[in-house]
A and B are shown apart, each in its own frame.
Chain A
């Protein structure tokens, strides 16, 4: 289903409306090739990792983030072993790491903006690398960037190696309120519908006003208001169709995930690794081993 919907949209939705769409929509979310369709495709794969109980993956990811965030602010080298976790997940699930890291780059401005002041605010030298003194601020800034890459890439990987449907299902079984789970599923379903409606509006606007027209406030109110009304009507019809086919808010799966021993091993194994990497600086040890002490 995932593939079909992508193909359909690529052929008669986004690509053909791309001109009108692009002119009014500042497409910062990358709904196109890089965006959610690609993510949807990856989440829909059927590797053993994809089929693993989503609860285990969610739990492990949260523990991972907790460990990463617990490091003191100047930490750099001891964080490195933690890259193993997202990279192994990507490897096992057949997700190209370049895709994830491109998305991480796109998302980085806020962490960059807040962290970039550290070098100015904390200029006291802390280490020396080849004759150049490096201040504490640069260390903590670098540390923020590494933490950011770790936590964000693991969140993206969680979705890419699970898929939204299984993720929602797992959240439901972990005790997340049903209202919120259904809300997430429907939001995801409707995202495609609304973006298509937006594409049609954009094409209409471009045909009438020219592709580079600026949108005034009055036009904006009408445009977004129309998008709202049309999306609501469309959603109502979609929902009625779903309800008349027996949708009650809960998803019935053909292969409901069962908790196997492998899953528990996955959890315990990774948490052990995180613990070891948190309390012994594996990278530092290796570096000393390699260049002979360094005392």
Chain B
């Protein structure tokens, strides 16, 4: 459920980058106090471990499908929330750079969706109080599965919110929510089971490993800080993003207009304004290319009548530009490809 750059507006991407960047800076400060010779390689290798673990699938009985570890929850269980958040961020960065999962501007969203909720919501509020020191049993599995499900549901909900606010996809908010949440309910259960299985094994094989590192210097009021941070983040997301949504013409109202049906005459002014906006900025429809629509199409008069001439010019121009870009890249390629590697 990586957000992709292609589905986002710069405003949403920028705001989410700011939030994730702030969280990262804050976590870095927290982690630096805990950092010791055991912690540094542990964080590094756990990031790599998530990659490898995601490639190992177990079969789900009776379904014929298979599942694997998601990552966020087990990292929090092993490292504590701050370090886990940083490791998740690093995993997502590598995924964006090496495997094209998500994108660079969407990285802020992805770090928040897949890092914040498991590390700062699901782990401290569900996993920790339920699992505590139990080894197996109902409480243990409830904690593991519940935390994984809640973390993923919140993340998936955020994906829907960010996509809708960006207004690039046409999916109405409610439809998208009903698509995403049930799917991620199933994924969450599978992740919870996988996390639980691995945690149980580690508990038996090496009991001392689990449990976040204790920082003796932390005053007992640390929990309150987390909650304040949570509240602040919620306010920022709620306030800033919704502000963008209301000023951004392609935002939520657009999706709402879609749900209500696009030819309703009640919001004629608003719709035609938007359509004019589209006309003015759409390359396929340069403003002088439209014929005035025939009176027979009266009710949808604000829709531009298709004009073959301009469409074809756009198509030809687009293709030609692509060819030119490929040609330029080919012409400018480094002569005599240097195979020397830096050591």
Residues of A in contact with B (beta carbons under 8 Å apart)? 1-3, 24-31, 35-36, 39, 41, 44-47, 49-50, 61-62, 65-66, 68-78, 80-81, 83-84, 86-88, 90-94, 97, 103-104, 106-107, 110-111, 114-115, 117-118, 121-122, 124-131, 133-134, 137, 139-140, 143-145, 147-148, 151-152, 154-156, 158-159, 163-164, 167, 177-180, 182-191, 193-195, 197-198, 214-229, 231-232, 234-236, 238-240, 243, 249, 281-288, 290-291, 293-295
Contacts and interface: CB of A to CB of B under 8 A. Distances in A.
Contacts of A284: 283-284, 286, 313-314, 317-318
A179 B32 contact: yes
Interface string B26-56: 0011011001011011111111110111111
B124 interface: no
A66 B315 CA distance: 24
A25 B325 contact: no
A184 B311 contact: no
Nearest to A50: B342
Contact of A184 (B38, B94, B170, B281): B94
B5 A148 contact: yes
Contacts of A193: 45, 48
28 contacts: A25-B55, A26-B66, A28-B55, A46-B341, A70-B9, A72-B250, A75-B282, A90-B333, A91-B334, A124-B300, A124-B303, A126-B285, A127-B284, A128-B311, A137-B170, A152-B6, A187-B47, A187-B91, A191-B51, A225-B197, A227-B52, A229-B209, A231-B52, A239-B44, A282-B317, A287-B316, A291-B312, A295-B309
Given A147-B6, A190-B44, A217-B58, A121 B171 contact: yes
A179 B172 CA distance: 40
Interface string B298-330: 001001101111111111111111101110111
**Which of A125, A145, A179 has the most C-beta atoms of chain B within 10 angstroms of its own C-beta?**
A179
Given A66-B13, A103-B100, A195-B52, 6 more contacts: A2-B341, A74-B282, A147-B6, A190-B44, A220-B58, A224-B194
A159 B93 CA distance: 11
Interface string B250-271: 1000000010001000000000
A90 B317 CA distance: 23
B283 A78 contact: yes
Contacts of A39: 98
B51 A107 contact: no
Nearest to A165: B342
A151 B102 CA distance: 9
A238 B45 CA distance: 10
Query: Which bucket holds chain B's interface residue count?
Result: 35 or more
B198 A151 contact: no
Given A45-B339, A74-B282, A126-B304, A179 B31 contact: yes
Interface string B1-22: 1101111111001000000000
Interface of B: 1-2, 4-10, 13, 24-25, 28-29, 31-32, 35, 37-38, 40-49, 51-59, 61, 66, 68-69, 86-87, 89-91, 93-94, 96-101, 103-105, 163, 167-172, 176, 193-194, 197-198, 200-202, 205-206, 209, 250, 258, 262, 277-278, 281-286, 288-289, 300, 303-304, 306-322, 324-326, 328-334, 337-343
Contacts of A127: 284-285, 306-307, 310-311, 314
Contacts of B277: 72
Contacts of B342: 2, 44-46, 50, 163
Nearest to A288: B313
A69 B58 contact: no
Contact of A77 (B69, B209, B283): B283
B329 A87 contact: yes
B28 A122 contact: no
Contact of B329 (A90, A238, A283): A90
B311 to A, nearest CB: 4
B97 to A, nearest CB: 4
A267 to B, nearest CB: 17
A245 to B, nearest CB: 14
A110 B1 contact: yes
Report the 9 A-B pairs with minimum CB-CB distance, sorted nearest first.
Answer: A287-B317, A186-B44, A87-B329, A221-B197, A225-B201, A235-B45, A239-B41, A177-B28, A151-B5
Given A75-B281, A129-B308, A216-B58, A94 B40 contact: no
Given A26-B55, A144-B7, A97 B329 contact: yes
B224 to A, nearest CB: 23
A122 B154 CA distance: 28
Contact of A294 (B25, B313, B334): B313
A145 B4 CA distance: 11
Contacts of A129: 308, 311-312, 315
Nearest to B314: A77
A222 B202 CA distance: 8
B100 A295 contact: no
A161 B324 CA distance: 22
A235 B325 contact: no
A229 B44 contact: no
B103 A224 contact: no
A104 B170 CA distance: 23
Given A61-B104, A106-B100, A186-B45, A215 B57 contact: yes
Contact of B278 (A69, A72, A77): A72
A107 B6 CA distance: 12
Nearest to B89: A180
A271 B203 CA distance: 54
Given A155-B97, A186-B43, A227-B49, A180 B315 contact: no
B45 A234 contact: yes
A140 B262 CA distance: 16
